[in-house]
Amino acid sequence: MDAERYDRTRPAYPPELIDHLVTAAPGRDTLDVGVGTGIEARQFQKAGCRVVGVEPDPRMAEFARASGIDVEVSNLEDWEPAGRRFDLLVSGQAWHWVDPVAGAAKAAEVLRPGGLLAAFWHVPEPPEAVTDALSEAYRRLVPDAPIDLKSVPKQSADPYGPLIAKAADGLREAGGFGEPERSRYDWERVYTRDEWLDQLPTFGSLTWVEPAVRLEILAEVSAAIDGLGGRFTVRYATVAITAVRI
């Protein structure tokens, strides 16, 4: 993964979400699970939080440290908190990599009573012309792909519904939390062709594709965006699950 590209192109989280979580937590000590390059961690820092990040990818961790985040390289399940406790545990675009039960148990261990766990994900929905060009090129050029782009969540359905349900079941099974709650934040962003093509290689469907094939796929997406005038609006839903440590 190109950490610099990821940080440059991936969007931040809605200010309303950040403000809600900071206000709902009993204090400002924050653990960011799967901190990545530090996108949401920097948002929480700006909101007055003291952030410690946990990140299994050393390249991502190094980038986040360079941007001013205290990061420890580990997955959550094996991470040693060394007696530290937190008021808020957040995870942006990452909780699906955590074992839902073991991760929830570790979260219960490190959160103070009344502390808040929050996992959240972006669901981008570009115009159909853009998504169709990507899926058709992908299917034709990468016929043995392990990822089905047609299965990407749509906002008209329940974005990440099964994933969030799995996280909620893990919290219930681990114990120590009140009933999980869902929330959703809708917003939009305008992209130019170059901005969107810069971001696409950071998605899991393309990170493993051979560079030459990836360039062919991007060329077909580029043509579709040109057909829209070179810029377009992406509708985003940012979905979250939260639970209070009891």
Q: Which of 231, 8, 223, 5 is nearest to 126 (CA)?
A: 231
Q: Which residues of the chain have pLDDT under 50?
A: none
Structure confidence by residue, pLDDT tens digits, 150-161 = 555 566 668 788
Count CA atoms within 13 Å of residue 67 on its CB side: 25
- Specify the pTM: 0.94
Structure confidence by residue, pLDDT tens digits, 91-124 = 999 999 999 999 999 999 999 999 999 999 999 9
**Residues 60, 194: Cα–Cα separation, whole Å:** 24
Count CA atoms within 13 Å of residue 166 on its CB side: 12
Please give the span between the terminal C-alpha atoms of the chain, in angstroms, as a whole number.
37
The reported pLDDT for the residue numbered 150 is 56
Tell me how crowded residue 201 is: count the other CB atoms within 10 A of its CB: 20
Query: Domains in the chain and their CATH numbers?
Result: 3-244 (3.40.50.150)
C-alpha distances in angstroms, 108 versus 80, 88, 153?
Answer: 14, 11, 29
The reported pLDDT for the residue numbered 232 is 98
Residue 114, token pair as written in the block: 């009344």
